[in-house]
Amino acid sequence: MRYSTLPIKSGIQCLRRQPPHHARHLFPLSRQFTSTRQPREEQRPSFKGQLYESTQQRLKRERAEQEKYSQYHTASSGGRYAALLFVLVFFSTGGYYLGTLKPAPPPTSSTTTLSNLQPVRHDTSSSNLQAAWADFVNIVGKDNVSTDENNLNSHSGSEFSSYSRKDTEKPFIVVYPATTEEVSRLMKVCHERLIPVTPYSGGTSLEGHYTPTRGGVCIDFQRMNRVLALHKNDLDVVVQPAVGWEDLNEEISSEGLFFPPDPGPGAMIGGMIGTGCSGTNAYRYGTMREWVVSLTVVLADGTIIKTRQRPKKSSAGYDLTKLFIGSEGTLGLVTEATLKLAVKPKSQNVAVASFPSVHHAADCARRVVEEGIPVAGIEILDDVQMQCINASKTTRREWKEAPTLFFKFAGTPLGVKEQVGIVQKLAKSAGGQTFEFARGDDEMKELWSARKEALWSVMAMKKDPSDHVWTTDVAVPISRLPDIVEATKRDLTQSGLLAGICGHVGDGNFHAIILFNDKQKDLAEEVVHRMVKNAVEMEGTVTGEHGIGLVKRDYLPHELGETTVDAMRRLKHAFDPLCLLNCDKIVRVQPPAPGEIKKW
């Protein structure tokens, strides 16, 4: 009986040894297992019992899950929010880190569309800006770094700007460098810390050019206001960006020279280059683009470049000088400029002619241009504008309140006299009612004073703190000038807004100066919108000399086409890949919000 006393495993091994037949017969396999010392299995429950037990376990699990769900929803909302925030921060940080390990491949297209742009990433946290403050102090000195609230507000916009800034759109700090090297060091700090930068010189721009939409740092060139070198024999001068055009002309006048571009009073060379401005002399002498020889520019990463030497002509490579003119500080910061100068004319004079309608006045300007008369300038002021000048008492004399042309003549005494006679005849044939020319320097200044006081005379008409002035400009081919001036005049009259028309009509460029209050803002926007739309449809431009800024950037695709704007956007990102310099100006760097762009 040795098989019955073996352990099961041994018994199985023994069975594999094939015991004698009679032994297998006497001790069946089932009997071997039951005869060991292992405990007998308990009897399995019936099918009904198993079903009952399974149902009970399932109900217990469901009750437990309901209790967990109830506990989760009765937990504090603060705890859930903290947990969710932790998860978001953790995965966002992890995703950003992984993204930096494998940067996106460089673009292969020639243009950059809005849909292909990466989000702009700036660091305007208090800790980063405060740390930058210490860096700036080390560069320019504590006295040249300001966080004064009034100073910050004055570097965010002005009462004559057509852009209404948001309360959040102001710089954290204003810095005043004195040299190109200091500007370079400032930009290196901002580049390393991802801080946006807004340049500022005269602060006379009109389209929101220096509003710091991203906060950050404002670099004010106020201390860079020197004339560095005057080369009289070469007819050029080297200046810093905060030199005013009026101050420059006063300084070089004794040398018999002058700088022709003449925008509004207070404008400085840096801003004039940034907007590609012109002024009342543009018909004869051209715009700012024709009077800049070369530039010293600090790029977004602090690199210093010089675009040309001093010769008046050069075919050496790309014309980077022209590229930076009109770029509004979005591609680089101008720290020095070499400007061409002109010889002061031997003789000058001014004439004033009034007309029965603005269309008659514009038609007379067209005739003078078509005749090829080399007048120095042709300016127009409509009847409303003349009324504002009389009412504001900004000039010494009383003017006829009718559409008026102002002519400026320059050249030899004999040439000027001949020009005055020809223009007088043309004015009469165009329906002119009066014609008056100056008979001396004092009278010449008096006659021209009305043109220079146009903006200020409308601003003087403000009766309430909620009143605002919107100054805008367009330009069209000279043959279409009478049509658009008349259409704009009619639109302004029908709107009921107090608005004057003035401008440099010799080159097809004119302005509308509109007075409105907060309730009339939408109405003023519609009038300006139609004015711009009419100009584009007449093969004109949305701005002749004010620049694009924030207000007119969404009109550019209608004037130039989407692909041209996309090419501009590629240039912006080539020079400023982190989008630090005057972000959001000229071209968008992020898609607009719904309803932000006015329907064309």
Tell me, what's the pLDDT at 4? 43
Q: Cβ distance 380 to 354 under 8 Å? A: no
Tell me, what's the pLDDT at 236? 98
Q: E strands along 242-357, which residues?
A: 257-258, 292-298, 304-306, 333-340, 342-343, 347-354
pLDDT, mean over the chain: 88
Tell me, what's the pLDDT at 441? 86
Give me the mean pLDDT over the 298-324 stretch.
Answer: 97
Q: Which two tokens stand for residue 422?
A: 């020809």
Give me the mean pLDDT over the 545-561 stretch.
Answer: 96
Tell me, what's the pLDDT at 1? 42
Cβ burial 272-296 (10 Å sphere, 16+ → b, else e): bbbbbbbbbbbbbbebbeebbbbbb
Q: Which two tokens stand for residue 269?
A: 């060379």
Q: Report the SS3 class of residue 36.
A: coil
Q: Which two tokens stand for residue 123?
A: 């660091």
Query: 312 pLDDT exceeds 80?
Result: yes
Give me the mean pLDDT over the 335-362 stretch.
Answer: 96
Q: Cβ distance 43 to 19 under 8 Å? A: no
- SS in 3 state form for 411-431? ECHHHHHHHHHHHHHHHHHCC
Tell me, what's the pLDDT at 18? 47
Tell me, what's the pLDDT at 46? 63
Q: Which fold has domain 347-551?
A: Vanillyl-alcohol Oxidase; Chain A, domain 3 (3.40.462)
Helix (H) or strand (E) holding 250: helix 245-252
pLDDT band, very low/low/confident/very high, at 411 (cuts 50, 70, 90): very high
Query: 72 pLDDT exceeds 60?
Result: no
* Rounded Cα gap, residues 95 and 60, in angstroms: 41
Q: Residue 14 burial (CB < 10 Å; 0-12/13-18/19+)? A: middle
> Where is average pLDDT lowest: 63-77, 288-302, 536-550, 568-582?
63-77
* Rounded Cα gap, residues 379 and 360, in angstroms: 14
Q: Which two tokens stand for residue 396?
A: 């010494």
| Among 307, 298, 312, 321, residue whose Cα is nearest residue 231 | 312
- The more confident residue out of 288 and 445 is 288
pLDDT band, very low/low/confident/very high, at 478 (cuts 50, 70, 90): very high
> What is the tally of helices (H) and strands (E) in the chain?
21, 18
* Rounded Cα gap, residues 177 and 551, in angstroms: 29
Query: 222 pLDDT exceeds 60?
Result: yes
Residues 6+ apart with CB under 8 A from 114: 569, 588, 590, 591
Fold match, 126-220 / 227-343: no
pLDDT band, very low/low/confident/very high, at 33 (cuts 50, 70, 90): very low
Task: Give the rounded percent of residues in the chain with a pLDDT score beyond 70.
Answer: 83
> Where is average pLDDT lowest: 89-93, 297-301, 319-323?
89-93
* Rounded Cα gap, residues 69 and 84, in angstroms: 17
* Rounded Cα gap, residues 497 and 528, in angstroms: 12
Give me the mean pLDDT over the 339-345 stretch.
Answer: 97
DSSP 279: B
Tell me, what's the pLDDT at 570? 97
Give me the mean pLDDT over the 204-224 stretch.
Answer: 96
| Among 469, 433, 492, 199, residue whose Cα is nearest residue 332 | 199
Give me the mean pLDDT over the 218-246 stretch.
Answer: 98
pLDDT in tens, 454-467: 888 999 999 888 89
Predicted TM-score (pTM) of the model is: 0.81
Tell me, what's the pLDDT at 65? 57
Hey, where are the domains in the chain?
1-38, 126-220, 227-343, 347-551
| Pairing label, strands 498-504, 509-516 | antiparallel
Tell me, what's the pLDDT at 466? 87
* Rounded Cα gap, residues 566 and 572, in angstroms: 10
Q: Cβ distance 369 to 431 under 8 Å? A: no
Return the CATH number of the domain spanning residue range 126-220.
3.30.43.10
Tell me, what's the pLDDT at 105? 74
| Among 395, 397, 407, 399, residue whose Cα is nearest residue 361 | 407
Tell me, what's the pLDDT at 394? 87
| Pairing label, strands 434-437, 347-354 | antiparallel
Q: Cβ distance 420 to 436 under 8 Å? A: no
* Rounded Cα gap, residues 543 and 48, in angstroms: 90
Backbone angles phi, psi at 422, to 5 degrees: -65, -45
Give me the mean pLDDT over the 411-425 stretch.
Answer: 95
- How many residues are given for the chain? 600
- The more confident residue out of 448 and 151 is 151
Give me the mean pLDDT over the 507-514 stretch.
Answer: 94
CATH entry 3.30.465.10 includes domain 227-343: yes
Query: 223 pLDDT exceeds 60?
Result: yes
* Rounded Cα gap, residues 272 and 350, in angstroms: 25
Tell me, what's the pLDDT at 208? 95
pLDDT band, very low/low/confident/very high, at 15 (cuts 50, 70, 90): very low
Query: 13 pLDDT exceeds 60?
Result: no
pLDDT in tens, 347-357: 999 999 999 99
Strand partners, 86: none
* Rounded Cα gap, residues 388 and 381, in angstroms: 11
| Among 470, 505, 468, 471, residue whose Cα is nearest residue 486 | 505
Tell me, what's the pLDDT at 17? 44
Strand partners, 378: 407
Q: Cβ distance 261 to 249 under 8 Å? A: no
| Among 386, 376, 371, 324, residue whose Cα is nearest residue 351 | 376
| Among 340, 173, 339, 341, residue whose Cα is nearest residue 270 | 339
Q: Cβ distance 227 to 315 under 8 Å? A: no
pLDDT band, very low/low/confident/very high, at 97 (cuts 50, 70, 90): low
Q: Cβ distance 320 to 377 under 8 Å? A: no
Tell me, what's the pLDDT at 138? 98
| Among 486, 478, 494, residue whose Cα is nearest residue 527 | 494
Tell me, what's the pLDDT at 234? 97
pLDDT in tens, 166-210: 999 999 999 999 999 999 999 999 999 999 999 999 999 999 999
Query: 56 pLDDT exceeds 90?
Result: no
Q: Which two tokens stand for residue 347?
A: 């003789």
Query: 386 pLDDT exceeds 80?
Result: yes
| Among 342, 423, 325, residue whose Cα is nearest residue 379 | 423
Query: 598 pLDDT exceeds 50?
Result: yes
Backbone angles phi, psi at 172, to 5 degrees: -80, -30
- The more confident residue out of 4 and 398 is 398
Q: Which two tokens stand for residue 136?
A: 């700036």
Tell me, what's the pLDDT at 77? 56
Q: Which two tokens stand for residue 319?
A: 């014309």
Tell me, what's the pLDDT at 544? 96
Task: Give the rounded percent of residues in the chain with a pLDDT score beyond 90.
Answer: 73
| Pairing label, strands 342-343, 333-340 | unpaired
Q: Which two tokens stand for residue 4?
A: 């019955």
Helix (H) or strand (E) holding 52: helix 47-74
Tell me, what's the pLDDT at 250? 97
User: Where do the H-state alpha helices sit in 355-430?
Assistant: 358-370, 383-392, 413-429
Strand partners, 349: 409
